[in-house]
A and B are shown apart, each in its own frame.
Chain A
Amino acid sequence: MKNIYILTFALLLFAGLSCKKSENLNREIVGLGGDTWEQGTLDQWLNVNFTQPYNISVKYRWDGTEYDNAKTLIPPRIERVQPLMEMVRAAWIDPYAAQVGENFIKKYAPKNYVLVGSLQYNPGGSVTLGEAEGGIKVTLFNVNNFSKTDRAIAKRVLKTIHHEFTHILHQTISYQKEFPQVTPAGYTADWNNTTLATAYAGGFISQYAQAAPNEDFAEMTSIMLTEGKAGYEAIVKGMTATAQTSIRMKEDMVVTYFKQTYGIDFYTLQNRVQAALNQSSPSQPNTYLGFGTTLPYTALHGISGDVAGQSPDFVTVFNAAKTGLAALNPSPGRVLLNFSLLYTAANQVTLRINYNNAAGASVVANFTYNLSTDANGAVSFVLSASDANAVVIAPSITALTNYLTQNKFVYKWYYSSDFKSEYIGLQKSTDANSYFFGVYGN
């Protein structure tokens, strides 16, 4: 009897408690998938250039959850977004993609770009231009002041991007453990109270490079890429011999790291970045080339019609000079090899013709020209002196010397088609299709 009671009790309990709970789980969640808006031309452009190929989202519209709440910030001007991102694409993504393929960017690039109109002002009075979080999100500030044609501004933004991207690369596979040992004593948390001169003296490429080895590595990489070979050499040239030794060691490690870790030829990458930057905001090659102890380069070498990429106009001129020299009497059979431009004195340049004489021995002939620069920066050549060999061969190479003296030229950057070489050239100021270039050096 007792058992029946208990049994009944238990049954009742079960029956009572097992009540039906039905919930409709097959419900659409409203608002899932984030913000949506009418897709404008800019949205489509970003989609085609960043989201589809690289799975990178570019958020230019204000989203209060993305920023530091303690700071006053504003959204970007819509018309500044595309020029900025065009430069990002051309001078960051495209060089890497061309070098090691699109998958490299897909694999390593930060996935979220957030754009902010103003600078981020920090309590100490400094300003932030860019910020990266965990290799995922990069915030770019100061978009409203961006100008694609202003090299200083373009370079600053690009440096931020390359800097943050370098962090991702070295966090994935670390740089050499010897790197922090190059200038171990120079790292300081107080880096923002030092001058650039102190940083240079300590063997650092920038003040921020002194913050930590990671920053040093990222600064080395980003500055070498954005300054280009010539710009970088100009910085190094201003350093003391000890500092130069340190910088060169770091440079070697960066180059080796990129080659060994990712199979990237760093100098080619550097040229590609420069080519893209020079497309929209060219630097002046003659700020690096010319006479003077402060300039890193004083000569252009190996100028010849046989180098691929020279303008057809110049090739004709060069070949005419070659033919003329070969036929020069007496003792015909001289072979024109190439020529150099040597900046040997202020406002003067020496045209050095390298050729073989009939006997096959190499000979040089030097023509010295006075240079004058007009208000638009175009340079003219006026002959001032010729050495003995030059006097002899002058009548045979008038095609070349007339080309030089009868035109005005402006300085330009040129690149080989594989971007392994960067050249400085002179282009007729009146005709962009007539130019020649050579290897800059000393």
Chain B
Amino acid sequence: MMKKLLYIALVITGFVSSCKKDTDPIFDDPDSRLSAELAKDQAILLSAADGWKATIYPKGGKGFSYYFKFTAEGKVTMMSDFNSTTASATAESTYRLKALQRPTLIFDTYNYVHLAADPDASISGGGASTATGLASDFEFAFTEVVGDTVKFQGTFNKNLMKMVKLSAAESQSILAGGLKTMIDANALYLTNNKYPYIPFSDGVKGAIAIDVNAKTVKLNYVDSKEVSQTQSTTFAFGINKIYLNTFLTYGNLSFNEMTWDAVAKTYYVMSGATRINLLNSPTPITPLSLMFGFPSTFTYRKITIPSTGLPAGVTSGFNAVYASMVSLFAGTGRTITSTSLTLNSNNTLTVDVVYATTSSFTASASFTYSRVGDTFTLSAPVYNGNWNTRATQVAPLQNYLLSGPFRVDWVSSSNPSNTSTMGGFYRTADASSFFYGTM
């Protein structure tokens, strides 16, 4: 009995005493490893002799590209497409690397990268009430290094930043104000190309809308079910490029950048090895019939001829009709302030002629309409008192309105100074004659 106890005790003691109190970590000391990691990250930053190009698409919208050049002394030189000043002059500030939860790159004094994060809405362009700027970042944790690309994640707002080593040529181009050149070239392109689109291989046109203020690119097309489809993403300017935050896709064409051809002054996208140039349309790409209708889901429901008269540069059989109405009104000492066609419901529309002597009057004609696709058939006119009083003067318009049916579509102008978006009611019997105005 005693012996048994003793053996048990011995075995237990054996277990207890078999301790190995070696506290040395299997790898190196964690603090040393951390500082070694930081030194490695520092070396990565300094490895780009010609600097880096970085893109950030902040949570609060827009997208920005940056030029960074780090020095061993803790200085960083920047340029950015944030505005034309930042795109044409460099600015220097400081940075440091610090081990927070992860090795982190901190832009620790103010520079262009902070502009989008500035809570002052007049600087960042963010919301004034929230005072969060565009919710951008300036503390970035290293997440991944792949070849010449380093990826980061913002600490505060979790925005992703991608940084790619620049070639000597691209670096020089940026430092010479290349981003500003691109911004200016884009502005000129948008002036000269009102409705740019991508001609897809199946014949569908994909409208591209570049909004410089919101820094968005929208792709819009009409699918096989005649439904308008829109994809939107934010963008940043590069050298002869627009970088998109996400891919825009149609069929098997998918692109996340648009390249600028400075000679042809146009953008193109690559479909595999095939280059597809953006083309310009004189009228919007999406048929007006898909955008014109009564429910609020439609963009437009009214066509207006303003007080300045019919929009310039359009040839239509309606021009003579309008001119005779104007002269008939003028003959009675009255001037036309505006003429408009407005959809009031899914089956009624009103044509208003606002005219003035010393005070203003409105002559209204209400119609019942039936719509099949893009074709409107008007019937059962009801005229108000002013319309009846001015029956002689409005007669040309009244007769014209009763000469339908009409097909709704865009109207283009041959006059370059006329930049308004115009739509019209085309006589199905005679497409060269159409009631038109601004949308």
Q: Which residues of B contact A (CB under 8 A)?
A: 2, 6, 9-10, 13-14, 16-17, 19, 21, 23-24, 29, 31-32, 34-35, 73-74, 93-94, 96, 98-100, 106-110, 114, 117-120, 131-133, 135, 138-139, 155-156
Q: In the bound complex, do residue B16 and residue A16 qualify as a contact, i.e. CB atoms below 8 Å apart?
A: yes
Question: Chain A, 38-68, contact with B by CB distance < 8 Å: what is the 0/1 string?
Answer: 1010000000000000000000111110000
- Point out the residue from A12, A22, A37, A60 that lies within 8 Å of B96, measured CB to CB: A37
Given contacts A16-B14, A19-B21, contact A74 B34 (CB under 8 A): no
Question: Can you add 16 more A-B contacts, CB < 8 Å, to A24-B24, A74-B117, A118-B118?
Answer: A2-B2, A12-B9, A17-B13, A17-B16, A19-B19, A22-B21, A23-B23, A27-B29, A29-B31, A30-B29, A30-B34, A31-B31, A37-B74, A37-B94, A72-B119, A77-B110
- Point out the residue from A2, A13, A31, A61 that lies within 8 Å of B94, measured CB to CB: A61
CA A29 – CA B138 in complex, angstroms?
28
Q: In the bound complex, do residue A78 and residue B74 qualify as a contact, i.e. CB atoms below 8 Å apart?
A: no
CA A321 – CA B99 in complex, angstroms?
76
Interface residues of A in 174-191 (CB under 8 A from B): none
By beta carbon, the residue of chain A nearest B32 is: A30
Q: In the bound complex, do residue A119 and residue B119 qualify as a contact, i.e. CB atoms below 8 Å apart?
A: yes
| Interface size of A in residues (CB-CB distance below 8 Å) | 41
Q: In the bound complex, do residue B74 and residue A62 qualify as a contact, i.e. CB atoms below 8 Å apart?
A: no
CA A24 – CA B25 in complex, angstroms?
12
Q: In the bound complex, do residue B17 and residue A30 qualify as a contact, i.e. CB atoms below 8 Å apart?
A: no
CA A144 – CA B123 in complex, angstroms?
12
Q: In the bound complex, do residue B34 and residue A31 qualify as a contact, i.e. CB atoms below 8 Å apart?
A: yes
Given contacts A62-B109, A76-B109, contact A17 B119 (CB under 8 A): no
List 15 A–B pairs whose Cβ atoms lie within 8 Å, in order of A's numbering: A12-B9, A13-B16, A16-B13, A30-B35, A38-B73, A40-B94, A64-B156, A72-B132, A75-B110, A76-B109, A77-B109, A78-B93, A117-B114, A118-B120, A121-B131
- Point out the residue from A30, A61, A64, A72 that lies within 8 Å of B131, measured CB to CB: A72
Residues of A within 8 A of B110 (CB): 74-78, 117, 144
Q: In the bound complex, do residue B109 and residue A30 qualify as a contact, i.e. CB atoms below 8 Å apart?
A: no
By beta carbon, the residue of chain B nearest A36 is: B96
| CB of A15 closer than 8 Å to a CB of B | yes
Q: How far is the CB of A187 from chain B (nearest CB, A)?
A: 30
CA A317 – CA B73 in complex, angstroms?
60
CA A117 – CA B9 in complex, angstroms?
70
Given contacts A29-B31, A30-B29, A62-B138, contact A75 B108 (CB under 8 A): yes
Q: In the bound complex, do residue A19 and residue B17 qualify as a contact, i.e. CB atoms below 8 Å apart?
A: yes
Q: In the bound complex, do residue A78 and residue B94 qualify as a contact, i.e. CB atoms below 8 Å apart?
A: yes
Q: Considering residues B24, B98, B99, B131, which has the most beta carbons from chain A within 10 angstroms of its beta carbon?
A: B131
CA A38 – CA B14 in complex, angstroms?
56
Q: How far is the CB of A13 from chain B (nearest CB, A)?
A: 5
By beta carbon, the residue of chain B nearest A23 is: B23
Residues of B within 8 A of A118 (CB): 118-120
